[in-house]
Amino acid sequence: MKRAFSGVQPSGVLHIGNYFGAIRRFTEFQDEYDCYYCIVDLHAITVYQDPEELPKAIRDTALYYLASGLDPEKVTMFAQSDVPCHAELSWMLECISTFGELSRMTQFKEKARGTESFSSGLFTYPVLMAADILLYDADVVPVGEDQKQHVELCRDIAERFNSRYGETFKIPEAIIPEYGARVKSLQDPNKKMSKSDPNPLSYISLSDSKDEIAAKVRRAVTDSGREIVYSPEDKPAIANLMTIYSLCTGLGFPEIEDEFAGKGYADFKKALIDAIIYALEPVQQKYAEYAESGMVSSILRQGAEKANQVSSQVLRRAKQSMGLSLLADPTRRKLF
Ligand code: TYM
């Protein structure tokens, strides 16, 4: 069975960009792939996280994994910090990554803009992500558009490792959806919807109430004109809202244009509010059920056990390739 690996940071709220761009799609892989879905708490601490809040955010992310339809009988879900191999392989890979390539990462440049007091972890963040993926011999990595560059870096690092130390890692491939790969901010369609955006009007969180969803959509920016037509260049705000409508309803853009021909933005926004509420309702319901059930901790414990087994074998292989750890390699053990 081929393997899929992906991760979500337990930092702040999860929004519909995370859901449509990643989490909902995770479920599409669970029948045909051996799936590992990680809650990447070590990535989250590259910026300060309140130690009281972080465990809740980890649990919340796991609950949304389950609420979105991931079946714990089929997939392995776990918290990254429960599997020590991630940090260990990350260090080994840091030693073959260059300052130059990490400096070119768009996400790093955006987050570090205008300051030098960011953590070193923020800089080496993509290397830890490469370690995450390579430790599971992943074939595919379902992610949103913003993570594509990181998966490409992961491929470069793996190829460099293989050519320097011999065939060790499988080269993974990013799977980016055609639509929904980059849901934009409701307040500025030139920016992606982001959980670190200080303005909550810019995103719809998976936990937003009906009233909050309605208020946010009503206040979402629109473009000039009044027609509902899909034209990302001329009408980026409407194109973004149409994308969200399409993701919620499964309708294509021509069908949406037909549905709203002769109608204006107010009618469209009304329908969009209903569509988002309808799409999120079952997720919110299941979230509440799983939260009540108290199953999450045992699911994460079992997930971590399995992840530890798989990743420790790959780490051992990587150490052997690099000439590290006598215990990993019986032929070298004899040297001493
Ligand atoms: P994170 O936590 O920022 O986002 C989780 C997933 O959601 C996608 N996403 C979006 N998709 C569409 N529109 C948006 N506005 C939007 N915002 C976020 C992201 O692309 C991602 O798929 N570095 C990763 C986590 C990570 C990881 C990994 C992913 C760590 N190790 C290994 C894959 C494989 C991150 O910060 O995602």
Measured distance CA(296)–CA(63) in Å, rounded: 7
Pocket of ligand 1 (CB under 6 A): 5-9, 17-18, 21-22, 40, 43, 129, 132-133, 141, 143-144, 146-147, 150, 180-183, 192-193
Measured distance CA(79)–CA(82) in Å, rounded: 6
Measured distance CA(167)–CA(169) in Å, rounded: 6
Q: State the chain's maximal CA–CA distance in angstroms.
A: 82
Ligand 1: residue of 18, 127, 190 to mutate (most ligand atoms within 8 A of CB) is 18
Looking at CATH, the fold of the domain delimited by 200-291 is given as Tyrosyl-Transfer RNA Synthetase (1.10.240)
Pairing of strands 173-175, 140-142: parallel
Same fold yes or no, 3-181+293-335 and 200-291 = no
Q: What is the pLDDT of residues 29-54, one digit of tens each?
A: 999 999 999 999 999 999 999 999 99
Q: What is the pLDDT of residues 223-281, one digit of tens each?
A: 999 999 999 999 999 999 999 999 999 999 999 999 999 999 999 999 999 999 999 99
* Cα distance from N-terminal residue to C-terminal residue, the chain: 40
- Centre of ligand 1 from the C-alpha of residue 147, in Å: 6
Domain boundary assignment for the chain: 3-181+293-335, 200-291
Judge whether 192 counts as a catalytic residue: yes
Distances (CA, A) of 60 to 7, 156, 188: 14, 33, 27
Return the sign of the alpha-carbon dihedral for residues 254, 255, 258, 263.
negative
Q: What is the pLDDT of residue 327?
A: 74
- The domain 3-181+293-335 is placed in CATH, from the list 3.40.50.620, 3.40.50.720, 3.40.720.10, 3.40.50.300, at 3.40.50.620
Task: Output the residue whose Cα is nearest ligand 1's atom 31.
Answer: 129
Continuous segment of H or E residues that includes residue 36: strand 34-39
**Model pTM greater than 0.85?**
yes
Task: Output the residue whose Cα is nearest ligand 1's atom 9.
Answer: 18
Measured distance CA(42)–CA(244) in Å, rounded: 30
Residue 188, SS3 per DSSP: coil
- Centre of ligand 1 from the C-alpha of residue 173, in Å: 15
